[in-house]
Amino acid sequence: MNRYTSHVYTKFENLKPQQLIDDAQLVKTDMVNYPKVHIAPKSGLLNDPNGLVYYNELYHIFYQACPNGPFHGMKSWNLVTTKDFLTYEDHGIVLNVTEEYENFGIFSGGAIIVDSKLCLLYTANYRDPNNEYKRKAYQVLATLDENYNVVSKRIIREPDETLHTEHFRDPVAIDDFNVLIGLQDVNNQGQLAVMGYSQKDYLGDSKLSFIKNSWNLDSFMFECPNLFKLEDKNILVFSPQGVEAQDKYTFNNIHDVVYSISDKFFIEEMMWDNPIIKQLDHGFDFYAPQVFNDGERTLMIGWQGVPDTIYPGDEQYRWSQMLTTMRELTLVNGNLLQKPIDEYQQLETNWISFEREVKLESKVFKLKFSASEEFELVIGNDSYNIRLVRQGNEISLDRSKCQYLVNEKYGNVRYVNVEEDNCELEIIVDMSSIEIFINEGKYVMTSRFFIDSLTTLKLSGSDTSQFSYLKAIKYKEG
């Protein structure tokens, strides 16, 4: 069967409403994996976070969605909004396929405010049914009204096969005149570039300029770029695809996320002056993050998954993937630190100090502990577990003894080297998700893990340890 003529590419407007209702009811029966404190789809697939923006006193979180099933197909953008990251309003699909140049879906991008109106930058995915479904990528600006209806769409850049292949996507605004984008060049190498315009709001003549760098990354595509400032430094975050593992510490997933810091970056020169690349997350499941500023903080949320992966329960419960927690970013001594935002503290219940063991009553909790020497954390039951262990300066996360295994050909253990003798850890466990923040988020390990029941938490080697169950975030329908 030709995938491009199959049900996975059914337009949103042609989906059967009753099927979506039935799938959403089925999702509600998942008491094993569906998260309580993370954003996840009502049904179908959740993919990259998109269009993050603080606008009209609300946080707007768009994400790629295929609501008709747990698979990658006809992508649209779903929207949730929140004032406090505790209660959310789900507005459903807001940006979907309406034009011929986006006939096979709407890919990732960012948001920008133009004349007090919310506008979305995105990649339109066109495939030519008369030419073996060959792809072309158009960059588009959509304008929304106050009720999140799309009132206009405008192509701001057409594909240029002399500069890049069909892989040309994920635009985000740098300012009123420039847009950062990821691509694969004509030599099939990953690149970052800037689309520069002669007039505000991406009007007039445009020029595509590649960012010159010395990273020496052997990647076939750079996805989901971000460019922002912290402490007067320029920071690039992006997702290079196809980089081979260099050792057991770096590039061991299907694809990973990296960052680089520059003292100076000028649009006119397009030169990135730092050859150093650092991995942003050291776990199994973290990809395509997006960064934005709410006026006071620099925030980031990512996709808690990786491409080309089917997770346990996807088909059974008709949903797939989730977002990470929202994280505040800071820059300390040349390291990009990430910590869960303070608002999540309101989800905490009673903090309990403990020694060595906790009998678990829920799969949704936060754990904090400090350790000046080696430690071992085991979460699971009598038959299955996930382990976090420090030996010397190495911390390993081992999910080889989970009930269901994922992406085994990429290994079941992830490692990170820590420079400090003392470790302070904050860990959020949410059904099938674990997010580990070490030393104020200098090192982070984000992962999914699959064990039907968690009955025991065991911790040895800690100096102090505390534990709290977490309340669930709430939703109201838009």
Residues annotated catalytic, as ranges: 48
212 CB-side CA count, 13 A:
8
State the first-to-last Cα distance of the chain, in angstroms, to the nearest integer.
37
The amino acid that residue 219 corresponds to is: S
Q: Which helix (H) or strand (E) covers residue 337, if one does?
A: strand 335-340
Among candidates 4, 127, 64, which has minimal Cα distance to 321? 64
Under 8 Å between Cβ of 51 and 110? yes
Which long-range contacts link 348-354 to residues 24+ away (Cβ below 8 Å)? Answer: 348/468, 348/470, 348/471, 349/468, 349/469, 349/470, 349/471, 350/468, 350/469, 351/466, 351/467, 351/468, 352/466, 352/467, 352/468, 353/464, 353/465, 353/466, 353/467, 354/459, 354/465, 354/466, 354/467
- Report the SS3 class of residue 158: coil
In angstroms, the CA 467 to CA 369 distance is 9
Residue 329, token pair as written in the block? 């970013």
How many residues are given for the chain? 478
Q: Is residue 272 classed as helix, strand or coil in its secondary structure?
A: coil
Compute the CA torsion angle 14, 143, 49, 123 (nearest 10 deg): 70
**Tokens representing residue 373 in the block:** 């020497």
| In contact, 122 and 137? CB cutoff 8 Å | no
* DSSP code at position 107: -
Q: How far apart are CA 320 and CA 108, in angstroms?
A: 18
Cα dihedral 305, 306, 310, 313, rounded to 10, equals -10
Asked if 364 and 429 count as a contact pair (C-beta separation under 8 A), the reply is yes
